Chains A and B, each alone.
Chain A
Amino acid sequence: MFRATVKALTARKLRLMMSALAVVLGVAFVVGAFVLTDSLGRTFTDLFSSVNKNIAVDVRGTEITPGSGNSDGGGRHDVPASTIATVQGVDGVAEVQGNVANAQFNQVSVLGKDGKALTTNGAPIIAGNWIDSAKLNQQRVVDGTAPRGPTEVVLDGRLAEKAGVSVGDSTTVFLPTGQQRVKVVGLVEYADGKDSLGGESYVYFTTAAAQKLLHVDGYSDLLVAANDGVSQDQLRSRIASALPSSTEAITGKQLADEQASDIQQGLSFLNTFLLVFAAVALFVGAFIIFNTFSILVAQRTRELALMRALGASKGQVTRSVLLEAVVVGGIASAIGLGAGVGVAIGLQALFGAFGAGLPSASPVIELRTVIAAFAVGIIITAVAALMPARRAAKVPPVAAMRDAATADRPLVKQTIAGAILAVAGAVAMTFGLTGSGLAILGIGTVLAFLGVALLSPLVSRPVTGAVGLLFQRRLPGRLGRQNSLRNPRRTAATAAALMIGLALVAAVGVLGSSLKDSVRKIASDAIGADYIVSPTAVGMDQAAFKAVQDTPGVGEVTGLRGGDATIAGADEFPTSLNRAALGTTVDLSMKSGKVADLGPGSALISDDVADDKHLSVGSTVPVTWEDGQKGTLKVAGVYLSNQLIGNYLVDDSAAVHFKQQLYFAALVKAADGTDAGALRGPLDQALASYPNLQVQNESEFVGDATKQIDQLVQFFQLLLALSVGIAILGIVNTLALSVLERTRELGLLRAVGMSRRQVKRMVRVESVLVAVFGGLLGLAVGVIFGAALQRALVSQGVTELSFPIPQLALYLLLAAVAGVLAAWLPARRASKLNVLQAVAAD
């Protein structure tokens, strides 16, 4: 039996490898995800440990709001300046350096060559103090000198290039305390000649300037080097016992571990993200494997029956088909493993193109990756082939004697199973969307897809038949349509693969479109201002705010600020504004309470949070601000949830607690009697010396936001397009097998005078019909998924449901085009058929 399997495999290797290509791609994506994240993980860990190699102990402030999950130091107390002397006095300390750094990402920028503030999508610009220590600072000044004056800085070479400056030039740095004119006095690089570890950039001031400009009272942390013979642990415990309250000491090893685990956390998110796409690809691939094996088994009915007649047991037949699947899966996995390294490199380039600077990493292939590749590839193939294998075993020995006309099996069982799966999937998805987690949502989605796929043969005849009427005018079209109706299971299974990809693409499209509409709705509901001044980098400082206020013709100006806080036990981001704004530049629809009651010590809250925490007008909630101050807020009113404002609105007087003193937006209303349109010129004029600020009217502001949504949608759809590509392979495969199966018919058609072009057209019509059927199913399912997602995200601000009709129509058109492309080779093959052999073939 084994030998027969091997023979069968080699005889059909081309066909099998076509279907295996789907598994190859899926496995390659799995491997790519692991290799990419493993490589980056190792590279980053190596980089950090080399940078931190001489740090024996790190002294830092304790977390202000424990459990806020903010492990980048943003939620920590500063280390008092006097602590340096304390630590220096500890026995075994060789050297102590105070480090000052901006706490949060994306709060530092530098004027670019083009006169605008540099924006960074991925790796940040880091501002801090230049530490003059060969031991504790692995960077060195390679050109010019270290900063000495309050406005002197050193930059890394790449940042200097982006900013278009060299040593001796002046430029502007945007900082959490506003913009600062500086003079570049030197360039720095790491000891190995690199500008940065992973694409990040550096601006270093003197310690005093950094403390002032970055708003650090003392130091962010202290770097401690140990004397020879003193262990990190010894030194850490000695230092810890000498430290003042609200500071703590960790060993250099702990610091490295924390950094590594931060990186791992970030990368594991990336890994999961990529694996989701790999799973989609594999899921689609499974359909193709299933279909290929089904067709092959159907075509081999006679051969299988002969084996049964010659004494092979049912189990042997099943095993022989499964063995084929395992071999195919194994080969596909091996190829996928190799291709995966290429995928990892490609993905890195792709992320690079989207603006995330990543260090170049040599591929790391862990044993786990290899095991995953083979496990996934072989198991998926075997599972997909299980049903066809069982069907093969059901072929009665007598079929060897009969003409292999496979009668249509009734769809009853399949339809019932499909309905059950679809309902179960829908229920699981509902639970997943209402908060039971992504895993449940994923399982629900898979079940729903399987259910729809099982149900689809039921509708494939009417739908394909109806669409096929478009091609009814000429004979090749009519025959193509009829061929697509011949085997509803085959048509449906082939179309199902395409359905999955298109459904996901359509769902993302619907969600994106709904998101955009919601943004528009929120903006038009909540913004009463004529203009919005917003920073392209960092924030808007007081001087700029005043410049706007002083612009002739400007009426009310509202500055919005915000910061992290723990309110009523939850991490929140309250927004502060001037009470006068409400009703002029900001429109809130109040459910209860009065806008006018907002003042020091009170807050307006959204109805979401009110419902969630059972709060109403007059309730008080405890608050811990970002600066460590604790207090209470009295609820002055409840407004209809508004994504622009967030959950808590506090009076401007509370803004002193925010670490970030810059405004993240200013809303400008023209003074009474001033034409809003005429205000633009003067506003631009007033802000000419603030290259990080832009003036937009409402539609421009909304346009910016929707553009970002579009980009995100496109990014997702690009990745999902992979699964659509795999589905096209599936159509090619099915068509090729069908053409082979219909050799005699094609020969007859050619013998009685059908031209090659007509034959091609016939195959093409069938292909297009299958593809369009898959497209229609996909759009239907995708629109439902998209709508369900929107409903689930209403409380997150996706209040509007919108269907991007032109986009959806385009997807359907693309499906049809995919059908034409898929038909290319099978049609060619059908038309090149040798007529004589075909009609004479037994």
Chain B
Amino acid sequence: MSSPAPGTQPRHRATLAGAPAAQAIELRKVYGTGHTEVTALDGVTATFPVAEFTAIMGPSGSGKSTFMHCLAGLDQPTSGEVIIGGDRLAGMSDKRLTTLRRDKVGFVFQQFNLLPTLTAEENITLPLQIAGRKPDKAWFDQVVTAVNLRDRLKHRPTELSGGQQQRVACARALITRPAVIFADEPTGNLDSRSSAEVLGFLRSSVTELGQTIVMVTHEPSAAAYADRVLFLADGRIVDEMRAPTADSVLDRMKGLEPGQETMYQPVGA
């Protein structure tokens, strides 16, 4: 194992070191070559401080999903650096990347992405089980209480509502106390009430538990839960907004709508 078990270390090593939870330096991502070359990320530099909730917004094709996939170690940038919890991702083998994702990164996807054969409890502790570790009981209880799933732990995903499923996914992301949680359109498939529950939970995990969260979204109302919003357009960060509200974000987005059609469809957008 490349890092000690999360249960045995101070909650956020990065906090003590004073370093950011995640960092992107001059990220470039180019698809194809020659005439068909498409630049998805065009030199993106960003820092994600510990215990901060960052929303990434941008019109479709702005590169926001590619940015997050590169940050999370799911995709390889063409050039540039990604640093998560003090580890440089560049040049890591698939095995080390896998371990990094397991120990330092949490994911919440738009499609709830739970294992249908496992109960809610088993889904929550899945990353720990993969690593062959026992969950820290107190932490598990705290997380379960926070997502309000106490009485749903023995249910399987098919027996849960969409909102409940997404809260299970959130709890799963939190259980390893990762350096950073990446949420990809976490409310894209939810109704407004469920969305509010999930976003409220993400917010409180930042405020109360000191978790770092990076969320890609296209909903200004969702972005309003964040501490700051990064706006991407044509593969570049074009603006940053602190203490966003739904209205201020919406205004800013209107200015970003592309004058002409973007040339590519980002994967997973």
Contact = CB atoms under 8 A, between A and B. Distances in A.
Contact of B74 (A474, A483, A836): A836
Nearest to B65: A840
Contacts of B153: none
A662 to B, nearest CB: 72
A837 interface: yes
A754 B130 contact: yes
Contacts of B95: 755-756
B64 to A, nearest CB: 13
Contacts of A745: 113, 115-116
A836 B107 CA distance: 12
Nearest to B266: A840
Nearest to B114: A748
A840 B268 contact: yes
Given A405-B158, A475-B132, A483-B117, A839 B109 contact: yes
B123 to A, nearest CB: 10
A753 B75 contact: no
B98 to A, nearest CB: 5
B124 to A, nearest CB: 11
Given A835-B74, A839-B74, A840-B267, A753 B115 contact: no
Contacts of B69: 836
Contacts of A483: 117
B132 A749 contact: no
A753 B158 contact: no
B104 to A, nearest CB: 9
A474 B116 CA distance: 18
Nearest to B106: A752
Nearest to B113: A748
A756 B97 CA distance: 11
Nearest to A842: B111
B119 to A, nearest CB: 11
Interface in B215-264: none
Contacts of A839: 74, 107, 109, 113, 268
B127 interface: yes
Interface in B125-160: 126-127, 129-132, 158
Given A752-B101, A753-B131, A755-B98, A837 B267 contact: yes
Contacts of B116: 486, 745
Interface in A439-480: 474-475, 478-479
A381 B132 CA distance: 46
A753 B102 contact: yes
A273 B45 CA distance: 75
Contacts of A478: 129
A751 interface: yes
Interface string B89-105: 00000110011011100
B46 interface: no
Interface string B38-58: 000000000000000000000
B172 interface: yes
A482 interface: yes
B117 A479 contact: yes
A756 B267 CA distance: 23
A474 B101 CA distance: 20
A752 B94 contact: no
Contact of A475 (B99, B111, B129, B172): B129
A609 B148 CA distance: 83
A836 B268 contact: yes
Interface string A741-772: 00011011111111110100000000000000
B118 interface: yes
A842 B172 CA distance: 21
A4 to B, nearest CB: 27
A450 B109 CA distance: 44
Interface string A334-353: 00000000000000000000
Contacts of B118: 479, 482
Nearest to B69: A836
A752 B127 contact: yes
Interface string A310-329: 00000000000000000000
Contacts of B113: 744-745, 747-748, 751, 839
B158 to A, nearest CB: 7
B77 to A, nearest CB: 13
Interface in A466-514: 474-475, 478-479, 482-483, 485-486
A747 B107 CA distance: 12
B101 A753 contact: yes
Given A753-B99, A836-B74, A482 B117 contact: yes
Contacts of A837: 267
Given A475-B132, A836-B268, A840-B267, A756 B94 contact: yes
Contact of B130 (A747, A753, A840, A842): A753
Given A752-B101, A752-B172, A753-B102, A475 B117 contact: no
A842 B111 CA distance: 8
Contacts of B114: 748
A479 B117 CA distance: 8
B126 A752 contact: yes
A480 to B, nearest CB: 10
Interface hub of B98, B101, B103 (most chain A Cβ within 10 A): B98
Nearest to A748: B113
B120 to A, nearest CB: 15
Given A836-B75, A837-B267, A754 B115 contact: no
A721 B3 CA distance: 50
Contact of A749 (B65, B109, B130, B267): B130
A1 to B, nearest CB: 32
A748 B112 CA distance: 10
Contacts of B115: 479, 745, 748-749
A474 B130 CA distance: 8
Interface in A403-432: 405
Contacts of B158: 405
A836 B267 contact: yes
Given A835-B74, A839-B74, A840-B268, A753 B132 contact: no
Interface in B149-188: 158, 172
A712 to B, nearest CB: 46
Given A475-B132, A836-B69, A840-B267, A753 B98 contact: yes
A747 B72 CA distance: 14
A108 to B, nearest CB: 70
Nearest to A747: B113
A587 B172 CA distance: 79
B60 to A, nearest CB: 14
Nearest to B70: A836
Contacts of A755: 95, 98-99, 130
Given A748-B109, A756-B95, A842-B111, 10 more contacts: A475-B126, A483-B117, A745-B113, A752-B101, A753-B98, A753-B99, A753-B103, A755-B99, A840-B65, A840-B268
13 contacts: A474-B132, A475-B130, A475-B132, A478-B129, A479-B115, A485-B117, A749-B130, A752-B126, A753-B103, A836-B69, A839-B268, A840-B268, A842-B111
